[in-house]
Structure 1
Amino acid sequence: MPDGSNIIGRGVYPVATAAKLLRMPSARIRSWVYGNGSSPVLISDLPPEDGQDALSFINLIEVLFLSELRGYGISLQSIRAMIEKARKLMGTEHPFAIRQFHTDGKAIWIETAEDTGDRRLVDLTDGNGAMLEVLERSFRKSVSFDQLTGTASQWRPSADQPRVILDPARRFGRPIDGGTGIPTEVLADALRAEGGDVARVAKLWEVPTDAVEQAAEFELWINRRMAA
């Protein structure tokens, strides 16, 4: 795993952890970020160390968006064409993780649809681009961008637990209660240790009761997904 000097402010997520957070198979993440007999779609932001691959927060957000595109039926070939075009025009290796692509990148979508003829991509950009707007709004609803750099800075992985965030500048990007900065795993473990007494844990840790409840719900949710 990358050492501390490599991950400060960048977050670090071993592939197994990323799979749990993103609710998708580890093999798919490895294929997109590291390649699996073919060229990867994305560019890894962290060098592998000790034989373990890991994603940065930026990679995590890229995979999140790539997954949404695939969910709309857009081919990997079209996604590759889109991201290459965006890299050249926007001057970054990680366009899927910057605000500009998600607010001002409609021309890239349209040009890619014209170049590839991908039916699903054409449908997204056809007419007034209403479907494209729905996709982009859905993505931006959970991701926040830094006001100065325009780079993804926070992610709320579950709409049901809005207090829970991932922020690479806090706790190395692990899931935390956004209001207090306490890792969700810590609050969930404390709740188990106190026999499910939410009020007692809230008092011991000096946090609101909904911070404890949402942390526990989130940890149960991601671990249940992982087991499934």
Structure 2
Amino acid sequence: MGNLIGVGLYTPAEAGRLLDVPVGKISRWLRGHKAGGKSYEPLWQPEIDLGDGKFQLGFRDLMEVRVAAAFINYGVSALKVRAAIREAAEIIQQGHPLSTNRFRTDGREIFLHVIEEGEDGEDRERLLNLFKRQYEFNGVIDPILKTVDFGDDGNPAAWWPRGRRVHVMVTPSRAFGAPIDSVSSVPTSILANVAKAQGIAATAKAYNVTELSIRHALDFEASLEQRQAA
């Protein structure tokens, strides 16, 4: 992919730090892997291929990982998530279907179909009970997607990782997808680093942003550092 404007660009380490998902897990999902003598294809085709053999993510990959991770953490097997992605891609006609606004409404039925077509056993019954209850499905998907702004096409356009009240936004249309102050578009990493050296008031004046935005940037970058250290 030659033009990365409006796509976003993240290394696996950056994606893992933003999403609080292990880098190894992200790599397995998007590069495929072998386990138990079996080969598993990527869960979906990554958005970015720079042709250099290195593994990078786009903004859509970032949003797709969020949803996939939430369902897997809730107890849905990676195999069923894989099957749901395949089913949803055909229905929704999107390469990254889980992160679309339409999946928010159609995803329950897609998962139900996948589970009902799957193997028998207690795991199947438990998941059937989960996805037959609309409020439980919404309890998984709504917290993930409520912090996302969608475009008219139903695709994710921006993500508010700390909620909309915090002035931190991630969008592929600005700063190549780096976390930014939502008003000024200055990356939070820059605001935080300058504030550490020059103080909050001086930084706010220099970049023409509020002191509250500086504090949000400092808190956000500190949380990312804690994840990296963990």
- Give the 4+ runs in structure 1 shifted more than 6 A: none
Q: Residue 181 of structure 1 aligns with which residue?
A: 185
Offset at residue 34 of structure 1 (A) = 0.8
Q: Pick from 13, 17, 20 the counterpart of residue 16 of structure 1.
A: 13
Q: State the alpha-carbon separation in 1 of the partners of residues 73 and 173 from structure 2.
A: 30
Contact 1:72 1:120 in 2 (8 A): no
- Of 64-73 and 151-160, the range deviating more from structure 2: 151-160
Using the TM superposition, give the Cα deviation of residue 113 of structure 1 relative to its aligned residue in structure 2, in angstroms. 2.5
Cα offset, 1:164, TM superposition: 0.7
What is the correspondence of 1:154-169 to structure 2 with a 5 Å cutoff? 154-159=158-163, 162-169=166-173
Which position in structure 2 is the counterpart of 1:101?
103
Deviation of 1:104 (Å) = 3.2
CA contact 1:74–1:120 (8 Å) conserved in 2 = no
Gaps of 5+ in 1: none
Pair 1:121-2:127 in alignment: yes
Task: Kindly state the Cα deviation for residue 123 of structure 1 after the two structures are TM-superposed.
Answer: 2.9
Matches within 5 A, 1:1-228: 5-37=2-34, 38-116=40-118, 118-126=124-132, 128-146=133-151, 148-159=152-163, 162-194=166-198, 197-228=199-230
What is the rounded CA distance, in whole Å, between the counterparts of 1:155 and 1:119 in structure 2?
34
Question: CA RMSD, aligned part only?
Answer: 1.7
Tell me the number of residue pairs that the alignment of Structure 1 and Structure 2 aligns. Answer: 221
* TM-score of the superposed pair, with normalisation by structure 1: 0.91
Amino acid at match of 2:197: A
- The secondary structure found in structure 1 opposite 2:146 is helix
Cα deviation per residue 1:50-70 (whole Å; 9 max; x = unaligned)? 342100000010001110001
Whole-Å separation in 2 of the counterparts to 1:143 and 1:12: 18
SS in 2 for 1:92: coil
* Alpha-carbon spacing, 1:144–1:124, altered in 2? closer, same or farther (3 Å): farther
CA distance 1:102–1:160, shift in 2 (3 Å) = closer
Q: Which amino acid is the alignment partner of residue 177 of structure 2?
A: G
Give me the whole-angstrom Cα distance separating, in 1, the residues matched to 2:50 and 2:31: 10
Q: 2:210 corresponds to which letter in structure 1?
A: P
Deviations 1:199-227 (A, max 9, x none): 22111211011110000111111011111
**Mapped partners of 1:217, 1:160: distance in 2:** 15
CA separation of 1:120 and 1:72: change in aligned 2, threshold 3 A: farther
1:121, distance to aligned residue in structure 2 (A): 2.7
